[in-house]
A and B are shown apart, each in its own frame.
Chain A
Amino acid sequence: MADAGMLRFHVPEPEVRPGGTPDFSNVTIAKAGSVPRPEIDVDPRTIRDMAFSIIRVLNRNGEAVGPWAGLLSNDELLEGLRHMMTLRTFDARMQMAQRQGKTSFYMQHLGEEAVSCAFRKALAPGDMNFPTYRQAGLLIADGYPMVTMMNQIYSNEADPLKGRQLPVMYSSKEHGFFSISGNLATQYIQAVGWAMASAISNDSKIAAAWIGDGSTAESDFHSALVFASTYKAPVILNVVNNQWAISTFQGIARGGSGTFAARGLGFGIPSLRVDGNDYLAVHAVAKWAAERARRNLGPTLVEYVTYRAGAHSSSDDPSAYRPKTESDAWPLGDPIVRLKNHLIGLGVWSDERHAQAEAEILDTVIAAQKEAESHGTLHAGGKPSTRDMFEGLYAEMPPHLRRQRQQAGV
């Protein structure tokens, strides 16, 4: 055998860095309507290629085409558009509130609104999401009060979490939204456990696990896939691939080949990729996966291909690691613009109505913000009590905590 020479260490790099011209020519995008819709009891082995394609419904002309189209009524689509617009407006106001010092921290969903908003409508009451910090659309689309979300962000006297949690780490059992943790990927395996519990209890409820592209590298991603596969848990394993994990491009988590969806194949889990900026496609795929879970056919892994158009968080400046105009070059466009154009094409929406809706939504969000701010913001007005800090750790306060509470003078 010939001399192999010295080994060289490989570190993946994104195509372009700041100052360069955005380039997504390496992203292969299937034509809308071109990916078939298998029966839900399909043998996973026969649809392995779906983990490498992209399911899309809306074409360049804004028309809904192919086998994944036709599930939603015009009213449902109009409602979906409103949810996405509401989330975007909510984000903009809260980002501004953070800049104004009304809270310490915020994380936007810019460009990813379709993923959580459309997904929520595919679930039934009682199902449970195990979200990350970037799925607030699940709450918006389920009618969770914006004022309550803002109270949490402001850590004010009306904060349902009593000021104990960082902003955007919401929790609502009633709305099928599991308590968010700062520790990445932990909820992924918990979702599988919740789904196992539903099956153990012979219930009809299903769970949805959420994770970002970067966090798929965490061990709990693997744990979740093993357990979901072993016990055929009724869970939808969602991977939101927005291309970026703070400053780290998705190739650091994924490597140079394959897809995040393909990670499911080794576990025997049917794995689909979907256009994450296509409201109709997201909903249709979620519905397919939900039905599989509900019919005891087991887990489905879904990769949502999207782009994190905003900064990672209010503490992040993306211009330090990627071109400023990269989101404009993203080939799957903007989820709100695409649904808007589709609805205009259907003749049920117009630019005028859209502008009017934008104004109405802004008014609603501002009104909610005023109400929330009447309960205080992080540094002004009403706030949770010092006593709240000691309570609720255990069902019953143990003696050592009672002593510490007394020492704190409360």
Chain B
Amino acid sequence: MPRRTMIEAIRDAMDVSMGRDEKVVVFGEDVGFFGGVFRCTQGLQAKYGKSRCFDAPINESGIVGSAIGMAAYGLKPCVEIQFADYMYPAYDQLTQEAARLRYRSNGDFTCPIVVRMPTGGGIFGGQTHSQSPEALFTHVSGLKTVVPSNPHDAKGLLIAAIEDPDPVIFLEPKRLYNGPFDGHHDRPVTPWSKHELGEVADGHYTVPLGKAAIRRAGSAITVLAYGTMVYVAQAAAEETGIDAEIIDLRTLLPLDLDTIVASVKKTGRCVVVHEATLTSGFGAELSALVQENCFYHLEAPVARVAGWDTPYPHAQEWDYFPGPARVGRALIETLEA
């Protein structure tokens, strides 16, 4: 099976979708001729023409707003916001319009759009190239929120998102674009060609939305993670020698609660990790759900390891990013609690 980077897998997903359905259109800032600042749309304009893949003005509200209008017409736009940090001008369109169109019109109009946005830190991106705003989407009724952690899932989830009849926020951890990253910034990065999840089948396949994946089976403790933190958690488990069960959520909403609950009932302990800031982050929702559903099986408080409640700094990148040492400490503390 061919190995692809996450960038190539994402591009392949759009290529496959555009080839199968002429209603799929792709646009955003620098997405057309240039092929995207991360190369995720490279070659699509040459292959499908300017009316299927094109450059947009620098106007996030305009990109999402026009996509909503296109979706109401009957197209399936897959648009790009260059960085998740720049989605805020489009937040009105995403939360008040895309999310609610089906509901408020009782199905008269629907909004099958996908909004791709590179997310997450670990790249010295500073305050506005590192944010993880997923909790601002999972709090919105009517949106689905997806965060892939590897090329295989990225392709399958993106095709599923494009085919989904509802609006999907597709957050791509840019730190994982070229290879998995476990938080050890002082070590060389392994490319996806050396990783089994870099195997990406040709052609059409989907990874269903709303289904988590167990990345490491274990019996001592459950770790709930997504995106880059999946690899950080794996490193932490290896380095502490703790037999952690690591769940890659893949889709935050709808959430695969069954997989989470089954694991925590088995292990009796749970650590939630994410890059996003702690307070009111998605980890709070996960922690509350685990507490509600697994209270009588819990042998320790649910722990959360997250970004600090500060804007994402530049120089202090590795003091901010929840690396394997911090996650490892939480594993030990939760196990000994």
Chains A and B bind each other = yes
Q: Please list the residues of chain A having a beta carbon within 8 angstroms of any beta carbon in chain B.
A: 128, 130, 160-162, 164-165, 169, 171-173, 178-179, 181-183, 186, 188-201, 207, 219-220, 222-224, 226-227, 230, 392-395, 398-400
Q: Which residues of B contact A161 (CB under 8 A)?
A: 104-106
Residue B284 at the chain A interface, CB threshold 8 Å: no
Q: Please list the residues of chain B having a beta carbon within 8 angstroms of any beta carbon in chain A.
A: 25, 51-52, 56-57, 59, 61-62, 65-70, 72-75, 89, 92-93, 96-97, 100-110, 141-142, 144, 164-166, 210, 253-255, 257
Q: How far is the CA of A186 from the CA of B75 in the complex (A)?
A: 19
**A227-B62 in contact given A171-B104, A181-B96, A186-B92 (Cβ < 8 Å):** yes
Contacts A179-B109, A220-B65 aside, 16 further interface pairs with beta carbons under 8 A come to A178-B72, A179-B108, A181-B96, A183-B97, A190-B97, A193-B69, A200-B51, A220-B61, A226-B57, A227-B59, A227-B66, A393-B141, A393-B142, A394-B142, A394-B165, A398-B210
Q: Which residues of B contact A193 (CB under 8 A)?
A: 65-70, 72-73
B247 to chain A minimum Cβ distance, whole angstroms, is: 16
Contact B73 A197 (CB under 8 A): yes
Q: Which residues of B contact A219 (CB under 8 A)?
A: 61, 89
Closest to B107 in A: A392
Contact B57 A230 (CB under 8 A): yes
Across the interface, B106 reaches (CB within 8 A) one of A191, A192, A223, A392, namely A392
Contact B69 A164 (CB under 8 A): no
Q: How far is the CA of A160 from the CA of B105 in the complex (A)?
A: 8
Q: Which residues of A contact B257 (CB under 8 A)?
A: 399-400
Across the interface, A130 reaches (CB within 8 A) one of B67, B69, B107, B165, namely B69
Most central of A189, A191, A194, A230 by chain B CB within 10 Å? A189
Q: Which residues of B contact A196 (CB under 8 A)?
A: 66, 69-70
Closest to A393 in B: B103
B211 to chain A minimum Cβ distance, whole angstroms, is: 11
Contact B57 A179 (CB under 8 A): no
Q: How far is the CA of A128 from the CA of B74 in the complex (A)?
A: 12
Contact A189 B61 (CB under 8 A): yes
Across the interface, B97 reaches (CB within 8 A) one of A169, A186, A398, namely A186
Closest to A159 in B: B106
Across the interface, B110 reaches (CB within 8 A) one of A164, A198, A395, A400, namely A395
Q: Which residues of B contact A200 (CB under 8 A)?
A: 25, 51-52, 70, 75
Q: Which residues of A contact B52 (CB under 8 A)?
A: 200
Q: How far is the CA of A227 from the CA of B29 in the complex (A)?
A: 13
Q: Which residues of B contact A195 (CB under 8 A)?
A: 69
Contact B104 A190 (CB under 8 A): no
Q: How far is the CA of A191 from the CA of B73 in the complex (A)?
A: 10
**A186-B106 in contact given A197-B74, A400-B255 (Cβ < 8 Å):** no
Q: How far is the CA of A161 from the CA of B101 in the complex (A)?
A: 11
Q: Which residues of B contact A393 (CB under 8 A)?
A: 102-103, 141-142
Instruction: List 16 A-B pairs, Cβ < 8 Å.
Output: A130-B69, A160-B106, A171-B106, A178-B109, A179-B105, A181-B96, A192-B66, A193-B73, A197-B70, A200-B52, A393-B141, A395-B102, A395-B110, A399-B210, A399-B254, A400-B257
Contact A172 B108 (CB under 8 A): yes
Contact B104 A169 (CB under 8 A): yes
Contact A197 B69 (CB under 8 A): yes
Closest to B96 in A: A183
Q: Which residues of A contact B72 (CB under 8 A)?
A: 128, 178, 190, 193-194
Q: How far is the CA of A222 from the CA of B100 in the complex (A)?
A: 23
Contact B89 A171 (CB under 8 A): no
Q: Which residues of A contact B89 (CB under 8 A)?
A: 219
Q: Which residues of A contact B254 (CB under 8 A)?
A: 398-400
Q: Which residues of A contact B101 (CB under 8 A)?
A: 179
Q: Which residues of B contact A182 (CB under 8 A)?
A: 96
Q: Which residues of A contact B102 (CB under 8 A)?
A: 392-395
B64 to chain A minimum Cβ distance, whole angstroms, is: 9
Contact A165 B65 (CB under 8 A): no
Q: Which residues of B contact A207 (CB under 8 A)?
A: 69
Q: How far is the CA of A349 from the CA of B92 in the complex (A)?
A: 49
Contact A226 B108 (CB under 8 A): no
Q: How far is the CA of A394 from the CA of B197 in the complex (A)?
A: 31
Q: Which residues of A contact B109 (CB under 8 A)?
A: 171, 173, 178-179
Contact A165 B142 (CB under 8 A): no
Q: How far is the CA of A128 from the CA of B70 in the complex (A)?
A: 12
Q: How far is the CA of A182 from the CA of B101 in the complex (A)?
A: 12
Contact A201 B104 (CB under 8 A): no
Q: How far is the CA of A230 from the CA of B70 in the complex (A)?
A: 16
Closest to B103 in A: A393
Most central of B66, B67, B68, B106 by chain A CB within 10 Å? B66
Closest to B52 in A: A200
Q: How far is the CA of A255 from the CA of B107 in the complex (A)?
A: 40
**A186-B62 in contact given A179-B104, A197-B69, A399-B254 (Cβ < 8 Å):** no
Q: Which residues of A contact B108 (CB under 8 A)?
A: 160, 171-173, 179
Contact B96 A164 (CB under 8 A): no
A166 to chain B minimum Cβ distance, whole angstroms, is: 9
Contact A190 B65 (CB under 8 A): yes
Contact B69 A189 (CB under 8 A): yes
Contact A171 B69 (CB under 8 A): no
B128 to chain A minimum Cβ distance, whole angstroms, is: 19
Contact A223 B75 (CB under 8 A): no
A46 to chain B minimum Cβ distance, whole angstroms, is: 26
Closest to A184 in B: B92
Q: How far is the CA of A190 from the CA of B73 in the complex (A)?
A: 10
**A197-B59 in contact given A179-B105, A394-B166 (Cβ < 8 Å):** no
**A164-B65 in contact given A395-B165, A399-B254 (Cβ < 8 Å):** no
Q: Which residues of B contact A400 (CB under 8 A)?
A: 253-255, 257
Contact A181 B104 (CB under 8 A): yes
Contact A164 B70 (CB under 8 A): no
Closest to A207 in B: B69
Q: How far is the CA of A161 from the CA of B106 in the complex (A)?
A: 5
Contact B165 A191 (CB under 8 A): no
Q: How far is the CA of A188 from the CA of B97 in the complex (A)?
A: 12
Contact A227 B57 (CB under 8 A): yes
A62 to chain B minimum Cβ distance, whole angstroms, is: 40
**A191-B69 in contact given A179-B109, A219-B89 (Cβ < 8 Å):** yes
**A201-B75 in contact given A193-B68, A195-B69, A393-B142 (Cβ < 8 Å):** yes
A202 to chain B minimum Cβ distance, whole angstroms, is: 9
Closest 10 CB pairs of A and B: A193-B69, A193-B66, A189-B65, A223-B62, A197-B73, A190-B69, A398-B254, A179-B105, A194-B69, A197-B70
Q: Which residues of B contact A189 (CB under 8 A)?
A: 61-62, 65-66, 69, 93
Q: Which residues of A contact B253 (CB under 8 A)?
A: 398, 400
